[in-house]
Chains A and B, each alone.
Chain A
């Protein structure tokens, strides 16, 4: 069994309020999962339960084969956590802090995984080599965030939690960060669960996207699969005899085939644009909000 994450009918209740009403999903080894959803949908609660920082009300959860509510230090050593708002260790030097954090993982090396990550290699791969001797308080927002990520992965985790990792990144830093995360998943087989509000980021990074709203998962699949669950979302544009046309057919491929059969070489400037993840996301969330709260059927691709 290669499932790193198994969540079955997870429920969370604060007093009278049901925050999570039966969330279920799985993640395989090396898979990148993006958890999307409006604010207050329960993303952070879900991630905190999986991190072992919050005790669930009901349901089954297995993280790396262990119930996170009872995960010990050895289990902790196999996970990495990057939370939203770190501003700790301001007086520490970058390299010093990374080395200190790494030390705790050394006893948890296995045959396959040498822990921790070599500090200088790690600094190199997050692009902080030049800032190794800087104080943490002197880093820019993006550099600080990259340090947070470095600390999150210094123990060579098998499972990494990233909570809105690229908030405050400039486009170049974001690109580098995406390469780093993809590399971790592809080369090191790290399983990654990330939350983000950046839908391009989710599309670029994630193998699978989960949309959480109103305390349940309303969609689970790749960006393509999600787009296909909603017909009439792609757009076809072309010109014929100098005149522009735009249509949103149910099946774009079939539509274009017919278009050529009918008009042949008269068709010019053809463009087929698949629904962006943003379009799909908006449509799915609105659809879910229109239904009665109890009647949310999961759209499973």
Chain B
């Protein structure tokens, strides 16, 4: 059989195994529960507040927007962080020492990360549906929009995560940057409050990054149409959403293999050993 096909299949099974592992590892489960729980707490906190000028709960709107934030969190940060960690612990080098191992490794990573995104999304939506009114989850159209936004969202975020992850020398140095990235972007992307109430220059900056468009896409799918009035241009802007996310996807998919290949080329036993010693010495 064709070695590439074999590696693709091995990668799929790899991703599935890793997803299953994280669902049976206590610390991973705790992390997942914490992320979902934190979101729900914030959302419940703002449940009584209304969207500016509307008779609609800000909490419900935030809940939906946070699904967009989640995509960035898992797609970029989890993917990027895993690459940093697994470069340090030798996983990547192992893949490099295996025929077509890098291909299998990447496919596996995409599958397991995408699985986590979906899982977090479904659980959040499920709990949200009980706690909040106003979600349009009964419409087939909602799900259709949700699916294409989700697929494009994964394509836009996973390769970006891989590219960013390969830039950081170690997990320790990556941490603050991830926090800054998530915190900064969520503040200017209209996740917790409508972007139209931000200063105009911040609106422009926010619209460069996928997080805003993912939030918008989620809102367009899961919130009633009447809420479109708090959005820029009073429109869900599906075409623009598609355009921006597709652009990020293309750029990421072109850059990621180049950057990853460069990173893999630099890996060898001694680089892994050196990093390990650094970690042990605590410098």
Q: Which residues of A contact B (CB under 8 A)?
A: 44-45, 47-48, 51, 53-54, 73-74, 76-77, 79, 81, 83-92, 96, 100-101, 103-108, 151, 155, 163
Contact = CB atoms under 8 A, between A and B. Distances in A.
B24 to A, nearest CB: 9
B90 A76 contact: no
A48 B6 contact: no
B180 interface: no
Contacts of B101: 104
Majority DSSP secondary structure for residues of B touching A:
helix
Given A100-B14, A100-B17, A104-B10, A88 B97 contact: no
Contacts of A77: 99
Contact of A163 (B7, B99, B267, B269): B269
Given A104-B3, A104-B7, 16 more contacts: A44-B270, A48-B270, A53-B93, A53-B269, A76-B99, A83-B93, A88-B91, A89-B91, A91-B21, A91-B25, A100-B10, A104-B6, A104-B99, A107-B6, A108-B3, A108-B99
B98 A76 contact: yes
B17 A87 contact: no
A89 B276 CA distance: 15
Contacts of B145: none
Nearest to A137: B25
A89 B95 CA distance: 11
A121 B41 CA distance: 52
A104 B17 CA distance: 16
Interface of B: 1-3, 6-7, 9-10, 13-14, 17-18, 21-22, 25, 86, 89-91, 93-94, 96-101, 104, 267-270, 272-273, 276
Nearest to A74: B99
Contacts of B94: 86, 88-89, 101, 151
B90 A87 contact: yes
Contacts of B13: 100, 103
Contacts of B7: 104
A104 B272 contact: no
Nearest to A90: B89
B97 A51 contact: yes
A126 B89 CA distance: 23
B86 A88 contact: yes
B272 A83 contact: yes
- Residue among B22, B93, B267 having the largest count of chain A Cβ atoms under 10 Å: B93
A85 B91 CA distance: 11
30 contacts: A45-B270, A53-B96, A53-B267, A73-B3, A74-B99, A76-B98, A77-B99, A83-B97, A83-B269, A83-B272, A83-B273, A84-B269, A85-B273, A85-B276, A86-B94, A87-B89, A88-B86, A88-B89, A91-B18, A100-B10, A104-B3, A104-B6, A104-B98, A104-B104, A106-B1, A107-B1, A107-B6, A108-B99, A151-B94, A155-B99
Contacts of A163: 269
A159 to B, nearest CB: 12
Contacts of B6: 103-104, 106-107
B25 A104 contact: no
A285 B8 CA distance: 49
Contacts of B18: 91
Nearest to A44: B270
Contact of B90 (A47, A51, A83, A105): A83
A105 B10 CA distance: 11
Nearest to A45: B270
Contacts of A73: 3, 99-100
Q: Count chain B CB atoms within 10 A of each CB in A79, A91, A96, A155 and give the residue with the most.
A: A91
Of A77, A85, A89, A92, most buried by chain B (CB within 10 Å of CB) is: A85
Contacts of B14: 100
6 residue pairs, one from A and one from B, having the closest CB atoms: A83-B269, A88-B91, A53-B268, A77-B99, A107-B3, A103-B10
A9 B22 CA distance: 49
A102 to B, nearest CB: 9
Contacts of B104: 104
Contacts of B97: 51, 76, 79, 81, 83
A67 B276 CA distance: 30
Contacts of A83: 90, 93, 97, 269, 272-273
B104 to A, nearest CB: 6
Contacts of B276: 85, 87
